[in-house]
Amino acid sequence: MMALGDSMAEQNNSNPAPVASPAASLEGAVETAADLEKRALGWCHTARFRTTASQLDQLPQIELPEIAFVGRSNAGKSTAINTLTQQKRLAFASKTPGRTQHINLFDLGPKIIPNSIFADLPGYGYAAVARGAKLRWQKVMADYLAVRRSLIGVVLMVDSRLGFTDLDQQLMSFVAPRVGNGAVKLLVLLTKSDKLNRTEANTALASAQAVLGEITTDEADVGVALFSALKKSGVGDAAQVLHSWVHPAA
Ligand code: GDP
């Protein structure tokens, strides 16, 4: 398994072409780690709402690399998206009644020519949800993760105090074949890490790594990191990972 910032697995040819990084053409320019983080956060900040859909076949086919955000309800997914994009209410749409089961798409990059998409997928595992709705969720998620052609990466939010639940594992199984062959990259954010002390944080990280080891292959690009929206820790690193998925030259 790769740690954050390690080199990446090869791009799968069936995915949309990665976007060339403008800074890569600045000859001789030496970028510091701080510059890279700033650029990645700046790119995340450009996110704006594009469209919403309740079924996969209603989602537009967009020839742009797409990164999906998934996680149990209450795992901190909306907060993580808002923090990464430095926008207070971006993921708010996903919380409005009637839209909680929707897939919400956001454009990133220059206004006229977006270069990538964030997809906020429905939260799962909410106890009060009826069986029918749970089955429907399964189908939407399984279909999306297994067949969405432009999908290049998945960010899975897991509450650092709870670790992977059965539903998280089930969700990973939907995308595991594409992660295993390197077509889709995976970043697990262990959220709300501010609630853990150092020992607990290390334990959470080690247990997550053990679980991820099971789906990791030579081709896979799988990362895991502690994340706190409250303390703003792990935010710059996560932004850089996502930026590098879309801009491999950076
Ligand atoms: P979602 O259902 O996965 O979108 O979860 P939310 O983003 O709505 O967060 C669920 C709850 O966790 C809210 O009460 C948030 O304020 C809280 N939360 C989210 N991120 C953090 C964090 O980094 N630290 C702490 N302490 N609480 C957080």
Q: What is the pLDDT along the chain (250 residues), one digit of tens a residue?
A: 554 544 333 334 445 555 555 555 555 567 888 999 999 999 999 999 999 998 888 999 999 999 999 999 899 999 999 999 999 988 876 566 655 678 999 999 999 999 999 999 988 887 666 778 778 878 888 899 999 999 999 999 999 999 999 999 999 999 999 999 999 999 999 999 999 999 999 999 999 999 999 889 999 999 999 999 999 999 999 999 999 999 987 5
Taking the CB of residue 45, how many other CB atoms lie within 10 A of it? 15
Measured between alpha carbons, how far is 103 from 141 in angstroms, rounded to an integer? Answer: 9
Q: How far is the CA of 222 from the centre of ligand 1 (A)?
A: 23
Tell me how far the alpha carbon of residue 57 lies from the centroid of ligand 1, in angstroms.
30
Hunting for tokens 């432009």 — which residue is that?
A: 150
pLDDT tens profile 43-83? 999 999 999 998 888 999 999 999 999 999 899 999 999 99
Q: Is 191 in the pocket of ligand 1 (CB under 6 A)?
A: yes
Three-class secondary structure of residue 176 per DSSP:
helix
Is any ligand 1 atom within 6 A of the Cβ of residue 234? no
Please write the tens of the pLDDT for every residue from 88-105: 988 876 566 655 678 999
